[in-house]
């Protein structure tokens, strides 16, 4: 299951995190305000011991019970202030940080929806999802803790060292000595940790993908009784994640140990040196105690740097993963190009023309054979063109070019005489309506699912579209057209979904219609009814219909035969049956008399035999 993860760019933690600025900018005042308050609060924390010292040295030593009350009052006030500031800090950032996370997620979602279909073909949605959830939570936590506390603790350490140096500079230097090895250790740690953290996050993404697939493919897994092997595969992946996480813990344990031991050793050295100085009367015992208490007070800020750095590192990787997707360019509408303002030619109204269209996938190897090449096809206004070709000949790809789900790599496609490459996608997709081979319903009511095919369509359009698609079954659903379907609703059969998808395609009376094998899951009876109704719709639109079967081809005025990415023949059903062996084969499955014999075996009834032979013109010859 290993995915092809984009190469982690060689970017430092800080530079990765700086990319968060646009999202942090709106809340920067609150964030910095909160950090300031945190600094003030920790200063109050430093003042409290001084007050205690004052109480002990003053009123208590002087046996003055009244002074004790005053001291306790100061202590209480400082305590209340500290508590209030702590609260204010959290209160200031709570909603804004949740907001940053939400804004990033909304942006990611917005962006992903607008990325080309080719991108989604390559990226499993589990990987995208893990970026939108766990990674963003890491980012939020970074803004909440490491960012503030690196600043607060950094300031505390700085002030602490200034105090230390002022108290006794020789001892202060002893404590400063470990800074160099610490910095080196931390940077080594950062480099190693970032690699492992990235690996772990990617493995979480892979795990998400397996979970997702195991649910989407549950019928296959159950159907073949493979849930144990699936569980084994999952286990292997999660074992892999476990060992990566343990590797992370090893690094973390190492840096923690170093961060605990090295400063402690320095304090020990300062203690020994200080004691010698005290013994030599170079230093008062009181100063040594004060010096060491200050040093000990700095221990937590220094120790915390380990996990703050680790958290920052993980957030940097998360940020990296987030922007890896965000950096993929959205498709721009290039309206300025070519003949965006092509004159409206009345004669070309309703015409769909492919001129020298070529297509290869953006990630195809250079020099490979294009999926589609030299496609020249003119569909006349109001005409319905069937697209017939063997499995894998590129029919679906060709239909995806019309609404620009994929972009033709050469040549052009025009609607009404206008180059679609020069049209804004929104406008183009309003013009063209589509029914996909795999009918997807969204979590919404039946009515909403159908009406999403057209803006402004009303109740009447809905009923008409449902009638065309023979989707009367919806009125019998528990809540009629208000019944929730899709991922979160009632599950419908393939045929039912296909009919709703068809209704969606026709609801807005589109001028151009693209139907990708729209009737494959219907039974013969329903199919005949749909065809009859669809015929009326097709009268008034220009349409391409991908067809596998003669019955679907019958909807069309002409047929284009697609063979290995080229259009090899265009004509009526009868013409092609007569002239093209490949077409005859595709429409009947028979290549010769021997195939006819195959059919004959199965159907001994001789009166039916002739109908299987393709060369005999159909009795009804439905050409319109």
Partner 1 sequence: MTSTTTGPADRRDARKKPERPSPSDGAGDQFDRDDLPTPRGATRTLLMSLLRPHRGRVAVSALLLLIQQAAVQAGPLLVAYAIDSGVPAFRDKDYGPLIAVAVGYALCSAAAGGMQYAFIRASARINQDVLLDLRGRIFRHAQALSVDFHERYTSGRLISRSTTDVESLRELLSEGLQELIGIVLSFVSISLVLLWLDFGLGALAVLSFAPLYLLVRLYQQRAGVLYAARSTAIAAVIVKFAESMNGIRPVQAFRRERINDRHFEDLNNAHRWSNGGALLEMARYVVGSRLIANTAVAGIVLWGAYRVASGTLALGVLAAAVLYLRRLYDPIDRLGMFLNSYQSASASLEKIAGLLAQTPSVPETSNPRELPALTGEHPGREVVFDSVRFAYRTGGEVLPRFDLTVPAGQTVAVVGSTGAGKSTLAKLLARFYDPTDGRVLLDGTDLRDLAVPELRRGVVMVTQEAFLFSGTVAENIAIGSPDATREEIEQAAKAIGAHDFIAGLPEGYDTDVRKRGGRISAGQRQLVAFARALLANPAVLILDEATSSLDIPGERAVQRAMDTVLHGRTAVVIAHRLSTVEIADRVLVMEHGRIVEDGAPSELIGGTGRFAGLHRAWRESLA
Cα–Cα distance for residue pair 226/499, rounded to 1 Å: 32
Q: Is residue 367 a contact point for partner 1 (CB under 8 A)?
A: no
Cα–Cα distance for residue pair 290/171, rounded to 1 Å: 12
- CA dist 148 → 161, 189, 310 (Å): 20, 21, 15
List the x/- string, 163-202, binding to partner 1 by CB under 8 A: ----------------------------------------
Q: Is residue 221 a contact point for partner 1 (CB under 8 A)?
A: yes
- CA dist 605 → 136, 587, 610 (Å): 67, 21, 10
Half-sphere exposure of 524 (CA within 13 A, CB side): 1
Q: Is residue 52 a contact point for partner 1 (CB under 8 A)?
A: yes
Q: Which of 7, 21, 63, 366 binds partner 1 (CB under 8 A)?
A: 63
Among 375-383, 408-416, 456-464, 486-494, which window interacts with partner 1 (CB under 8 A)?
486-494
Q: How far is the CB of 94 from partner 1 (least distance, A)?
A: 4
Q: Is residue 578 a contact point for partner 1 (CB under 8 A)?
A: no
Among 165-173, 174-182, 408-416, 598-606, which window interacts with partner 1 (CB under 8 A)?
598-606
18/253 with CB nearer partner 1: 253
141/410 with CB nearer partner 1: 141
Window 501 to 540, contacts with partner 1 (CB under 8 A) = 501, 504, 517, 520-528
Cβ neighbours of residue 604 closer than 8 Å, sequence gap 6 or more: none
Q: Which of 167, 238, 304, 572 binds partner 1 (CB under 8 A)?
A: 238
13/496 with CB nearer partner 1: 496
State the DSSP string of 200-230: HHHHHHHHHHHHHHHHHTHHHHHHTT-HHHH
17/485 with CB nearer partner 1: 485
Q: Is residue 384 a contact point for partner 1 (CB under 8 A)?
A: no
Cα–Cα distance for residue pair 88/79, rounded to 1 Å: 14
Half-sphere exposure of 71 (CA within 13 A, CB side): 19
Cα–Cα distance for residue pair 500/498, rounded to 1 Å: 5
Among 15-23, 348-356, 395-403, 457-465, which window interacts with partner 1 (CB under 8 A)?
395-403
Q: Which of 18, 50, 56, 162 binds partner 1 (CB under 8 A)?
A: 56
User: To the nearest 10°, the Cα dihedral for 292, 293, 298, 299?
Assistant: 80
Q: Which of 267, 408, 555, 562 binds partner 1 (CB under 8 A)?
A: 267
Window 278 to 337, contacts with partner 1 (CB under 8 A) = 278-279, 285, 288-289, 292, 296
Among 1-9, 174-182, 535-543, 555-563, which window interacts with partner 1 (CB under 8 A)?
1-9
Q: Which two tokens stand for residue 576?
A: 């092609």
Quote the strand ranges of 361-440, DSSP E: 372-379, 384-389, 410-415, 418-419, 432-435
**Structure letter (DSSP) for residue 423:** S
Q: Which of 151, 258, 342, 410 binds partner 1 (CB under 8 A)?
A: 258
Beta-carbon count within 10 A of 585 CB:
15
Count of residues that interact with partner 1, criterion CB under 8 A: 199
Cα–Cα distance for residue pair 210/67, rounded to 1 Å: 70
Window 544 to 563, contacts with partner 1 (CB under 8 A) = 548-551, 554
């Amino acid at each position: 299951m290993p995915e092809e993860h984009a190469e982690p760019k060689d970017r430092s933690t800080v530079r990765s995190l700086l990319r968060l600025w646009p999202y942090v900018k709106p809340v920067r005042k609150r964030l910095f305000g909160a950090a300031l308050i945190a600094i003030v609060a920790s200063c109050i924390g430093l003042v409290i011991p001084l007050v205690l010292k004052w109480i002990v040295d003053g009123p208590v030593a002087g046996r003055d019970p009244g002074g004790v009350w005053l001291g306790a009052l100061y202590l209480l006030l400082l305590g209340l202030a500290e508590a209030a500031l702590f609260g204010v800090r959290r209160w200031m950032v709570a909603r804004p940080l949740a907001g940053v996370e939400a804004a990033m997620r909304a942006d990611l979602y917005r962006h992903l929806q607008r990325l080309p279909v080719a991108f989604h073909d390559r990226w499993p949605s589990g990987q995208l999802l893990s970026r939108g959830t766990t990674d963003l939570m890491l980012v939020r936590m970074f803004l909440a803790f490491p960012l503030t506390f690196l600043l607060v603790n950094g300031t505390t350490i700085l002030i602490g060292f200034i105090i230390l140096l002022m108290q006794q500079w020789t001892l202060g230097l002893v404590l400063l000595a470990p800074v160099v090895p610490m910095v080196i250790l931390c940077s080594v740690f950062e480099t190693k940790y970032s690699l492992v953290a990235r690996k772990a996050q990617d493995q979480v993404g892979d795990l998400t993908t397996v979970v997702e697939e195991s649910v989407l493919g549950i019928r296959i897994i159950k159907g073949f009784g493979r849930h144990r092997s699936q569980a084994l595969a999952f286990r292997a992946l999660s074992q892999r994640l476990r060992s990566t996480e343990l590797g992370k813990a090893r690094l973390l344990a190492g840096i923690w140990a170093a961060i605990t031991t090295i400063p402690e050793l320095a304090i020990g050295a300062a203690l020994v040196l200080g004691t010698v100085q005290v013994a030599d009367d170079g230093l008062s015992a009181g100063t040594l105690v004060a010096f060491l208490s200050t040093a000990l007070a700095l221990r937590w800020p220094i120790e915390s740097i380990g996990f703050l750095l680790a958290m920052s590192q993980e957030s940097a990787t998360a940020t990296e993963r987030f922007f890896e997707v965000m950096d993929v360019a959205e498709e721009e509408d290039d309206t300025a190009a070519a003949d965006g303002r092509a004159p409206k030619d009345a004669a070309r109204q309703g015409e769909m023309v492919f001129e020298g269209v070529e297509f290869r996938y953006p990630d195809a190897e250079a020099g490979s054979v294009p999926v589609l090449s030299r496609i020249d096809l003119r569909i006349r206004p109001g005409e319905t063109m069937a697209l017939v070709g063997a499995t894998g000949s590129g029919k679906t790809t060709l239909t995806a070019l019309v609404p620009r789900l994929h972009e033709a790599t050469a040549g052009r496609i025009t609607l009404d005489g206008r180059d679609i490459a020069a049209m804004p996608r929104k406008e183009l997709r309003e013009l063209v309506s589509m029914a996909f081979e795999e009918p997807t319903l969204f979590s919404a009511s039946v009515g909403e699912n159908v009406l999403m095919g057209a803006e402004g369509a009303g109740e009447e359009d809905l009923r008409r579209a449902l009638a065309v698609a023979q989707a009367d079954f919806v009125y019998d659903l528990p809540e009629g057209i208000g019944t929730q379907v899709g991922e979160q609703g009632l599950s419908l059969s393939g045929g039912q979904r296909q009919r709703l998808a068809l209704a969606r395609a026709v609801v807005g009376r589109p001028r151009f219609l693209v139907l990708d094998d729209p009737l494959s899951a219907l039974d013969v009876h329903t199919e005949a009814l749909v065809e009859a109704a669809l015929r009326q719709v097709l009268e008034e639109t220009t349409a391409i219909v991908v067809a596998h079967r003669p019955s679907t081809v019958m909807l069309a005025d002409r047929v284009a035969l697609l063979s290995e990415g080229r259009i090899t023949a265009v004509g009526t059903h009868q013409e092609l049956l007569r002239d093209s062996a490949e077409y005859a084969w595709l429409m009947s499955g028979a290549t010769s008399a021997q195939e006819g014999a195959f059919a004959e075996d199965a159907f001994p009834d001789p009166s039916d035999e002739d109908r299987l032979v393709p060369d005999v013109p159909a009795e009804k010859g439905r050409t319109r």
